[in-house]
Chain A
């Protein structure tokens, strides 16, 4: 059987900030959705279904908020699905929406992901005690720092690499009007002088807590034909999961991430990702995850990822720009962060990324992960309609 080609024809984001006191949760998501519709030059009536994602409900203190958000997202009388796959959720949500079009169940779908972290306290939300399970009170950084340390020991990477990533991403964010952190006075020395939080992760090498939403309009071939702006075409998309904790798990380079990337490349006909992909929006909440994921995603051989970062390959003007938008390190409304990666990849191949546009980008990868590096979601988008 053949699948319907899926096109991204509208993208909308809010300006991500620490606290949007001026809008409710409904107001926040409506803003991103309205911008995506305006970008696609469509109206609420053109939308057949809504697929929404966010990270845990405890982050806002609202149980299953999609019920309350049905009105704000024009979903009344329509199908509405709520996806939740931890930190990868923004990516998974876009893929579920994409499948609705690919399966020819719906023609035009609004997909949206959000987090309004200022409504509650994310560290509290992540730290509720659970019987029979080990307490995890160190926050996300405390969980991931030992794996970064393992990567450094395994590859011999010098301890300067993490700060290079942070310095690059924060400079890229200055070119992205929607990015949360706009640190105009950023220098490499300032990153390196920032306090050590979870050795070897410094304060400036961690993501902020943001309020924000991201929306996309996905449609079929006929919808793309009517689109006033260039479409980004989905060439491949996949999700993979593995258990959180078990003896055989490689926390430095999880098998689920490798398998997920391999599936996406197979679908997209990519055999040499380093040469054939023009831009990568990678989920990097702690700076060291850039070199780690470069290896996990097949852009570098094992142990070699940090060399690409150190050589400037991943800079905005390098030959494999990673996170031209500034990435999760500059903007992290958790539930939306994965969808922002997917949307920014689409912006690149549509040529709509503004000041952080990678010139001539034809194929871009959007990447998300979540849980204890156990959930992965990725898509590869291209400027051309896929041939197969």
Chain B
């Protein structure tokens, strides 16, 4: 615990059901029930929260300043101390955690959301690439992930049947997750971009996640079994795929070192691996033993709402500690093509 100035824990987590389409809902209408649910779990009201931070992307909403409207869902009156990252909500959680470390806040509400259904997310994500040399070629996100999968197979790190097993395990585990978009056994399907089949790729969908953080004794008051964030760090790599070894994730490894992942065994890992092949890379970077439960929630292969899927990993990891099902968990979030940017957090329950 001495790593940081203050003990901070995830004390509540809520998420929407993740759906292929939510045509009948605006973003505000998607976000509000989840915010109410996560606050109700702590008994706190919006006005009692010390700091609020959200994550989202204008390109999914198809308009500038899209987050200004979802702020209405928070009920920011009287005015609140608030910020936003144009990133997955896992990084909003990081900003909120830093704010609590300064002592300026004792609690934080973190939320993120994404509606991928109005557009083609494969096309939209091409706008994330180098705008002068790469984006004009429109290489889509599945094609880039397939490059990474091919590199892994060529390097002898995995094969197609091993990838299929990851997909099957994730979808089977999601059977116990009422919020997941794809649940129960799902066929591996046809090739999307070789060597990736449908079952190796995440579903496209809409969803919301929210977390409440609290410091020290307040966390103990708000939650019977707080999920303490004993380490958190994030790192980025070069953007150009040609500058990276796609079979490895040094940024995940550096973040894990700084978060203290390797100081003691973990029993569970919630990894933001939207493609089955990326789980192979992350397992290696995090040095996960074979007996670690990976993505018992079903992971991003069962529900991958853009901008929320990383925060969901932290939330699912924390919820397992809240329920007493896990004791030391690593949670991971990713952003950018082929795992360019990675956040790693260690969450632990109080020792009995």
Contact = CB atoms under 8 A, between A and B. Distances in A.
Given A105-B101, A241-B80, A256-B79, A81 B69 contact: no
Contact of B67 (A84, A104, A130): A84
B82 interface: yes
A125 interface: yes
A249 to B, nearest CB: 8
A274 interface: no
A88 B5 CA distance: 29
Contacts of B103: 1-3
A374 interface: yes
24 contacts: A56-B65, A57-B58, A62-B135, A63-B125, A64-B335, A67-B337, A68-B131, A81-B94, A83-B83, A84-B67, A84-B84, A99-B95, A103-B99, A128-B64, A130-B62, A130-B63, A132-B26, A240-B82, A242-B76, A242-B77, A246-B77, A248-B77, A259-B78, A375-B82
B86 A82 contact: yes
- Chain A: interface secondary structure? loop
Interface residues of A, number: 70
B238 interface: yes
Contacts of B82: 239-241, 375
Interface residues of B, number: 66
A82 B90 CA distance: 12
A100 B4 CA distance: 12
Nearest to B29: A132
A7 to B, nearest CB: 16
Contacts of A79: 233-236
A244 B72 CA distance: 7
Given A81-B95, A238-B81, A240-B80, A59 B250 contact: no
Interface in A87-139: 92, 96, 99-100, 102-105, 119, 125-126, 128-133
Contacts, number: 196
A129 B94 CA distance: 32
A129 B118 CA distance: 13
Given A63-B57, A86-B65, A372-B68, A103 B83 contact: no
A201 B185 CA distance: 63
Nearest to A372: B68
A61 interface: yes
Contact of B131 (A2, A60, A256, A374): A60
A25 interface: yes
**Top 6 A-B residue pairs of the complex, sorted by shortest distance between their CB atoms:** A56-B64, A103-B101, A256-B79, A241-B82, A84-B86, A63-B127
Contact of B127 (A56, A61, A242): A61
Contact of A68 (B71, B85, B130): B130
A373 B158 CA distance: 53
B336 interface: yes
Nearest to A102: B102
B239 A99 contact: no
B288 to A, nearest CB: 22
B81 A83 contact: no
Interface in A219-235: none
B254 A99 contact: no
A70 B84 contact: no
B254 A77 contact: yes
Contacts of B240: 71
A61 B99 CA distance: 31
A58 B86 CA distance: 12
A141 interface: no
A96 B341 contact: no
B59 A244 contact: no
A82 B75 CA distance: 24
Interface string B44-60: 00000000100001110
Interface string A248-265: 100000111001100000
A371 interface: yes
A69 B341 CA distance: 12
Interface in B228-249: 233-240, 243
B221 interface: no
Interface in B1-52: 4-6, 26, 52
Contacts of A244: 68-69, 71-72
B63 A99 contact: no
Given A99-B102, A256-B79, A59 B236 contact: no
Given A67-B128, A103-B98, 14 more contacts: A68-B131, A79-B236, A80-B236, A81-B234, A99-B101, A103-B101, A104-B101, A130-B62, A240-B81, A241-B81, A242-B78, A246-B72, A254-B79, A259-B79
